[in-house]
Structures are given as structure tokens and as C-alpha cells.
Structure 1
Amino acid sequence: MLDGKNVLVGVTGGIAAYKVADVVSKLKKLNANVKVIMTKAATEFVAPLTFQTLSQNFVYVDMFSEPKTWEVEHISLAQSSDIVLIAPATANIIGKVANGIADDMLTTVIMATNAKVVFAPAMNTNMYLNPIVVENINKLKNLNYEFINPSEGRLACGDYGTGKMAEPIDIVKYIESRLVKDDLKGKKIIVTAGPTMEPLDPVRYMTNFSSGKMGYSLAEEARNRGAEVVLVTGPTNLNIPSGIKAIRVNTTMEMLNAVEEEFDDCHVLIKSAAPLDYRPLVVSKSKIKKDEDTLELKFVKNPDIAMYFGKKKAEKILVGFAAETDNIIEHAKGKLKRKNFDFIVVNDVSREGAGFKTDTNIASIIDKSGDIMEYPLMSKKELANVILDKVAKLLN
């Protein structure tokens, strides 16, 4: 949530201006205080009343209109903002700011603010790739202005290529990541997520019901709190959060090897993945035919990733997960001790709202001293921050 955070949104003259209405709406739902400045060109695409209604604040357009308060407005807006978002960021606004031009309310505020300024470019592909625009963007990046990269797709002009403004949800997530606490800044955190899969033959494999949602939430929230995050993920249908190094794997052995590559200089390993405990002794080189009424397969045990790193963790923080269906506390305490976790998060996956593939969880956390904290139904994002709060305390 962005309670108490002041977000200033600068809307410029591009067709993507209509999508910024959704950005403002989503920021308000996170309890941010949102104010909007529109260039005159932007008002040709969206009426100021739209943003005034969504933001519940006056919209600023004309620098010389009658002031809304007694304060010098462009200075007041510049000083009160925690972050300034320019969306859509046209080639025009990027060029103006890169070359120190302040000839309207928006550019004047950008020049006057000490807050972080973030651009979300949107323009024709040829414009975006124009050497002059590229030079202006690089110049601003070198001056610590930030950019949310546009995506590739069909543009409003009919062309296909890079230049589509990032989706509103991605812009809001980026802004949120810049405004939340940074108590994990300077720490490297590895998060494992999702299931693993073990092939049976060229067309079949074994896996489990893990969706990866808990691990992805942990990775995203750790990034939001300033950590350098490495996400080692099994096969999922989830999008990799921006600003995170992702290593995709399939098998349990691949997951172990990927963590091993990153482990030496990490501070924290959060083992939220659900790797398969067994793999076929022999993987058939050809498709297994249904010739018989029964089929017998032999399996061998996979390495226990958590136990492996628990033996070599030294001063690192190791967080484990246990998805259980019976005697959950007893089983979790056993895992905590055997695998040398600093604490373990356990949930009864048979309970409604706590199983695989849900967006919520009901968890208990057990630490080394045996203390148990029970948590009610909450979103996986909320639980991720509960877990990261405990990680931050242990690190400090």
C-alpha cells in the first residue's frame, strides 16, 4: 500500500494518455495521494475532468491560470511529491527535459523537483529508435532519471514494433517498488519457486500442483524492498517480475545446480519451490505404449535441495516451506531441524484458500526456538511481506 505517498503524474500528448487514467485509478486504490499535470496537447486526448475525478484532486494544465492555492504551484508540486511519473512520455517531453527546457507547468515542475522522476515512453517505433531520442534517453539515464521500457506490439499508428507504453499494472508496480521501504537494500536473496518436472518419456513427465505464486510474490516484494533478487523458477504460467534475475529450470537437479551457481555471495535463500522428491530410474527414449493393463516404473530419490544448502549455509539465512495435509506442525518442526532452516513457513494445503494455485494462504511460522506464529487468511503478497519482515530482522 502507498498510504501517505504523494505521486505526481505528468500526462503528455500521446494516444496512450487514455491508459494513464487506469494508472491513476490503480494508484488511488493503493491509497496514494495522486496529483496530475497535463500538457495542453494531452487535453486533446483525454479531458482534465477524467483525471480530476479519478485522482480527487485538481488537475494542473496552464501555468498562468488562477492558482488553486496561495502557494507557488509549480514549486509546491515539486516539493510535495515523493515521485514524479511521466506517462505517456513522448519524444517531445524527453527532448525538452534532456536539454533543460522548462516552458510549461510540467517541465517546470520536473526541473524544480528533487523527487525521483520516472518516464514511461510511448511513441512510434522509428521515433523511439531515432538516434536523437536514443541519445536524449541515455543522457537522462546518466543523470539518474529512470525509464520504464515500452513493450513491442501493434502501435496506434498501425506499425508493429517497440514503442507501446508499458501496461498500467506494470507501471504501478514499478512506482510501488520505488516507494516502499528498502530494508533489504544491498542484500542478495535467492528465491526458488514453482514445481519441477521429471520426464518419463519424450512426451510425458511428472510434476505437481505448485503454481509458483508464493515464490513469485516473495521475489517481487523482496525486489520492492531493495534486494538483489535471483528467482530460480520451475515451469509456471506466471510472468517474471521486472528488475529480477530469473533462471528457468525444469528438473530438481537443474534447480539445485542453478541455486549452487548463485549461492556463494547470497545472504538469504528462500526455498518456496516444490521440487519433486523422486525421478524415474530410466527415462524411456521412445513413447511408452499402453500395451498392458498395468504399468510399473521404478524411481530414485532426487537430492534434497533444502538439506543440501542447509549443511553449507554458514551465516546465511535459510527459509523453508512445508505444504502438509496432516500433523502439519509436527512435520514442519522435523523439517526445520533436519534441514537447518532459520524458520519454516507451513500451511495445510487441504484448507480452502491455502492450497496450491490460490492467491491467498493461511500459514504458521515456526522458528528455531520452537515459537509458533499463526496467521489468518491473507494474500500471498501480504504473507510475503510477513516473511520478509522476519528475514530483515534476522539480517539486522
Structure 2
Amino acid sequence: MNGLAGKRILLGITGGIAAYKAIELVRLLGKSGAEVQVVLTGAASQFVTPMTLQAVSGRPVRQDQFDPAHEAAMGHIELARWADMVLVVPASAGFMARLASGFADNLLATLCLATAAPIALAPAMNQQMWQNAATQDNVMRLQQRGIVLWGPASGDQACGETGPGRMLEPEALLYRVQSHFSPGALDGVRVLLTAGPTREPLDPVRFIGNRSSGKMGFSLATAFVAAGARVELVAGPVALATPAGVDRIDVETACEMEQAVMDRVGGCDIFVGCAAVADYRPERIANQKIKKHNDEMEIRLVRNPDILARVAARPAAPFTVGFAAETQDPEGYAEKKRIAKRIDMIAANLVGAPEGGFERDENALTLLWEGGREQLPMSDKRQLAERLVAVVAERYLAARHPSR
């Protein structure tokens, strides 16, 4: 996937230690055929130099809002019209606040207000700054105006802390830009995806559940949309925002999830069962809160429907992908599950380990299909989802179009 030949990218750089990564991104964009015009804020020039960026972009770097060499002909308006895309890498908390408030007090902010081109931000900041309520409010306001945020990732930070706020790597940002301008590998393909846990009620206040956060499934939904797919997401109870371009259906129990899936699966090309569906549910649900009367209590459980197996058993089944979350021998158990349920592909992951699994921002997967295997190493779930979708697309197209 390329699609960048002749595309004009206005690359804004704001102040932050991640600004050094923008140099490599400029190089990658240029290598992919894009024309790149760099715009530096005053704070950014404390981290990277105009001379370096001019050398890798092949164009003079713009910095001053009132540069006499350009503004005699309303240069900032001309530049705003020139761009096919505005990408701010990194986007600091201060710049995002300025943009959310509509301030045009530097050249980059002015260009963002004056352009009709799509705008994407790659946030980078201290994890506490990212999670601050003011920043999150600005994020919401920017997204409501159609500005896209790519990232941040989670991990170790220059300040010594760990958490969300790392800028996506240049290679991942290049992929996002390419995806924006190129029809995805799954352009027009219909994807039905489940994510998150299910809750099986015991009484009006208690339930049987699991630790799934839904992060992997929601990241997959985002990656499928980026690949051009039309995505329906059946989500268990999670505290996550709906990804842009995704049609979301909320459910709580395994039976509700099964019903939502079976109502829609006939219209999909790919089904991905990423949800951590409860295997069992209470045979009876108490009408009132269960009180403590005895030292022991017995609860009789009955088997929940096997959504993945039921989808794969359909006469005209979609390309079916399952997940196997295991605490030991994940690959061995996953292969048995793949064969028993006759699914096209399965993603095995280890849960309960020091890294990855439930309630974390990173994970690792082993992908298995008939006659094939691919290891996806530990990484941020967003980047992992992009790699998984690329493999799913390859296998789906090979299965549906063997001559390709």
C-alpha cells in the first residue's frame, strides 16, 4: 500500500521530546513519494533544527506567522490551500488546547484553522497530562470537529513514568497516512466483531464476569475501518468510546450477544469473535438480592451458547476468526479449538502473565490457520490490531480469491 505519490503533507511539529521522531517520519513520507512541508512552532525549534528538517524534506521550513518573505502574498493562506493533509507530529497538550479553543496565535495553529484539508494529530505528552480532565475534554472537542487523533501509545516515557502518552512510531504514522489516501485491503468488506466481557447475573446486584477490558476488540474495530471495512461491533459492558466509523451494538449477557450476532451474521463477510464470552450462566436468577444465611452456597450453572462454533457452522459461513485466552499452553489449546470449531483462523494469547492479556494496553498473539502460523510480538494493542488485520485481510482474500 502506497498511494502517496504527489500527495502534499503539511507536517506540523510542536514542542516535545518526541519531536526528534518527526525527522524519520519526514524521511519516510518523502521516500513514499509525498511532498512534505514542515512547519515548526517556536517550542519545537528547541528540540529539532530547521536545517535538519530542510535537509530531509528538501523544502525550506516555515516558522514565522509574519514572515515578510511569504506574507506579502498571504503565504499562510496559500500554504493552507496547498495541503492535502495536515499532520501534527507530535501534538503537545498545549497545542491541542490552543486548537480546541480556536486560537490562531502561531503559524501552525493559523494553518489548521485556515485549511479545508483533513487534520490528524499524533499526541505526545506525560501520561498524567494526557489523562487530565482538561486534555480529555479538548480531545473530545477536537474529535467532534472531525479532527483525527492517531495515538497516543502506552509505555515508558522520557520523564521516567509509564502510561499512555507516547507518540506512535514513525512507521505506524506512515501506515495511517497511507491508509488515509489509499483504498484499504478490505475496502467495502463487511466485518462483524465482538468485544469485551459478558456478565451473567446472579441477582439484581451481582454477576459472573471476567477481566476483559475490550481494548483489543475496540482496537481491531478501528484497524478494520482503517483497512476500508464496514464494521459492526457487538460490545459487552466496557467503558470505551465507540471508534469512528463503527456501528456499535451494546449487550450484557452471552445470550444477548448470541442474539445480536445471529441477527447480523448473514450480512457479513468476516466474523471476529474477540469477546471473552462466559462459558456458563446461573441456572436461576434471584429476583431479590441474595442474603448471607449459610457458610456455604451452591449455584448451579448451565452452559452458554457457543457463538463462534455456531457462526462457523453456518451453511455459508463468513471467514471466521476466533480468540483463545489461556493461562498455559495457549498455542496448544488454541489449535485444538480451531480444529474442533472448524474456524478459519485463531489468535492465541497468554493471560495472567506479567505482560499482556486482560486489562493492559499491550499484548502478544500467535496466529494459527490451516498450514500456517505467525507470531505477533508484544506491542501496544493498537499497533497489534493493525498487524492482525493485515494478516486477516491476506488470509481472507486468499480464501475467497484463490487465484490472486
Q: Give the alignment partner of residue 108 of structure 1, picking from 61, 64, 78.
A: 78
Percent identity over paired residues = 30
- Judge conservation of contact 1:25–1:55 (CA < 8 Å) in 2: no
Measure the CA separation in 2 of the matches of 1:265 and 1:146. Answer: 31
User: C-alpha offsets along residues 264-312 of structure 1, whole Å, 9 cap, x if unaligned?
Assistant: 2222111111010111111111000001111111111111010110111
- Judge conservation of contact 1:37–1:105 (CA < 8 Å) in 2: no
**Distance of aligned partners of 1:27 and 1:337 in 2 relative to their CA distance in 1, 3 Å threshold:** farther
Q: Give the alignment partner of residue 50 of structure 1, picking from 43, 49, 53.
A: 43
Measure the CA separation in 2 of the matches of 1:244 and 1:300. Answer: 33
What is the SS of the residue equivalent to 1:285? coil
- Judge conservation of contact 2:193–2:231 (CA < 8 Å) in 1: yes
Residue 393 (str. 1) matches residue 363 (str. 2): no
What is the SS of the residue equivalent to 1:253? helix
Deviation at 1:229, TM superposition (A): 1.8
- Equivalent position of 1:383 in the other structure: 384
User: Mean alpha-carbon deviation: is it higher for 182-191 or for 162-171?
Assistant: 162-171
Measure the CA separation in 1 of the matches of 2:356 and 2:142. Answer: 36
Measure the CA separation in 1 of the matches of 2:262 and 2:305. Answer: 13
Measure the CA separation in 1 of the matches of 2:190 and 2:309. Answer: 20
Deviation at 1:351, TM superposition (A): 3.0
Deviation at 1:331, TM superposition (A): 2.0
Q: Give the alignment partner of residue 232 of structure 1, picking from 228, 231, 234.
A: 234
- Equivalent position of 2:340 in the other structure: 338
Q: Which amino acid aligns with 1:111?
A: R
Q: Which amino acid aligns with 2:241?
A: N
User: C-alpha offsets along residues 192-246 of structure 1, whole Å, 9 cap, x if unaligned?
Assistant: 1111001111111110111112112211122222222222111123222222222
Q: Give the alignment partner of residue 307 of structure 2, picking from 305, 308, 311.
A: 305
- Equivalent position of 1:171 in the other structure: 149
What is the SS of the residue equivalent to 2:272? strand
Q: Which amino acid aligns with 2:302?
A: V
Measure the CA separation in 1 of the matches of 2:388 and 2:195. Answer: 15
Q: Give the alignment partner of residue 194 of structure 1, picking from 193, 196, 200.
A: 196
Q: Give the alignment partner of residue 252 of structure 1, picking from 251, 254, 257.
A: 254
With normalisation by structure 2, the TM-score equals 0.65
- Equivalent position of 2:222 in the other structure: 220
Aligned positions of 1:353-392 closer than 5 A? 353-369=355-371, 371-392=372-393
Residue 32 (str. 1) matches residue 29 (str. 2): no
Measure the CA separation in 1 of the matches of 2:189 and 2:329. Answer: 35
Deviation at 1:357, TM superposition (A): 1.4
Which is higher, the Rg of structure 1 or of structure 2?
1
- Equivalent position of 2:210 in the other structure: 208
- Judge conservation of contact 2:87–2:119 (CA < 8 Å) in 1: yes
Q: Give the alignment partner of residue 68 of structure 2, picking from 61, 65, 89.
A: 65
Measure the CA separation in 2 of the matches of 1:333 and 1:30. Answer: 43
**Distance of aligned partners of 1:273 and 1:56 in 2 relative to their CA distance in 1, 3 Å threshold:** farther
Any gaps of 5 or more consecutive residues in structure 2? 27-35, 51-60, 89-95, 103-112, 121-132, 153-172, 398-404
Q: Which amino acid aligns with 1:291?
A: H
What is the SS of the residue equivalent to 1:214? helix
What is the SS of the residue equivalent to 2:149? helix
Any gaps of 5 or more consecutive residues in structure 1? 11-19, 39-47, 68-73, 75-101, 125-136, 149-153
User: C-alpha offsets along residues 344-370 of structure 1, whole Å, 9 cap, x if unaligned?
Assistant: 11122243213311222232221123x
Measure the CA separation in 1 of the matches of 2:385 and 2:23. Answer: 17
- Equivalent position of 1:277 in the other structure: 279
- Judge conservation of contact 2:118–2:147 (CA < 8 Å) in 1: no
**Distance of aligned partners of 1:31 and 1:305 in 2 relative to their CA distance in 1, 3 Å threshold:** farther
- Judge conservation of contact 1:35–1:55 (CA < 8 Å) in 2: no
- Judge conservation of contact 1:62–1:105 (CA < 8 Å) in 2: no
User: Mean alpha-carbon deviation: is it higher for 347-356 or for 264-273?
Assistant: 347-356
**Distance of aligned partners of 1:162 and 1:6 in 2 relative to their CA distance in 1, 3 Å threshold:** closer
- Judge conservation of contact 1:27–1:172 (CA < 8 Å) in 2: no
What is the SS of the residue equivalent to 1:274? coil
With normalisation by structure 1, the TM-score equals 0.67
**Distance of aligned partners of 1:24 and 1:329 in 2 relative to their CA distance in 1, 3 Å threshold:** closer
Q: Which amino acid aligns with 2:258?
A: L
Q: Give the alignment partner of residue 348 of structure 1, picking from 347, 350, 353.
A: 350
What is the SS of the residue equivalent to 1:59? coil
User: C-alpha offsets along residues 26-52 of structure 1, whole Å, 9 cap, x if unaligned?
Assistant: 8956953375559xxxxxxxxx42244
Measure the CA separation in 2 of the matches of 1:389 and 1:61. Answer: 41
Deviation at 1:186, TM superposition (A): 1.4
**Distance of aligned partners of 1:104 and 1:25 in 2 relative to their CA distance in 1, 3 Å threshold:** farther
RMSD of Structure 2 on Structure 1 (CA): 4.1
